[in-house]
């Protein structure tokens, strides 16, 4: 498969490809193709402050914590495709935040 000509240039090497509408398998089943990577980037905002006076800011990492907790308890569905078992997966693989060890992060 080739990247979709209409895909943004940065997406062309990130799993974006073309699938014909109404595409069916040789057995007549509807099909979909999921190529990796499929990713999501989320940004949480806070307010920067010195760590000696954290009450003057809002920690962006703490604001992300409830979302991370919900993702950590997500239960994957199992799907059987022509006798092969697959599981969906949802993983947080990276988090970045802060500009120094003594600064409450304003973004992550």
Domain boundaries, the chain: 1-39, 40-108
Could you list the mean pLDDT of each consecutive 10-residue stretch along the chain, which spans 108 residues? 45 47 63 64 94 97 94 84 79 91 96
pTM of this structure: 0.61
| Whole-number pLDDT of residue 11 | 46
Distance CA 40, CA 104 (A): 24
The CB density around residue 8, as the number of other CB atoms within 10 Å, is 9
pLDDT at residue 93 in the model:
87
Question: For residue 100, what pLDDT is reported?
Answer: 96
Assigned CATH class of 40-108:
alpha beta
CA distances from residue 64 to 16, 37, 57, 61, 103 in whole angstroms, order as listed: 28, 23, 15, 5, 17
């Amino acid at each position: 498969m080739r990247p979709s000509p209409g895909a943004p240039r940065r997406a062309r090497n990130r799993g974006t490809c073309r699938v014909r509408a109404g595409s069916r398998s040789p057995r007549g089943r509807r099909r979909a193709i999921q190529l990796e990577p499929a990713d999501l980037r989320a940004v949480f905002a806070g307010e920067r402050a010195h760590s000696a006076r954290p009450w003057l800011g809002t920690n962006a990492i703490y604001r992300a914590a409830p979302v991370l907790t919900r993702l950590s308890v997500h239960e994957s569905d199992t799907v059987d495709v022509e006798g092969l078992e697959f599981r969906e997966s949802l993983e947080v693989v990276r988090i970045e935040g802060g500009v120094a060890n003594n600064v409450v992060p304003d973004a992550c």
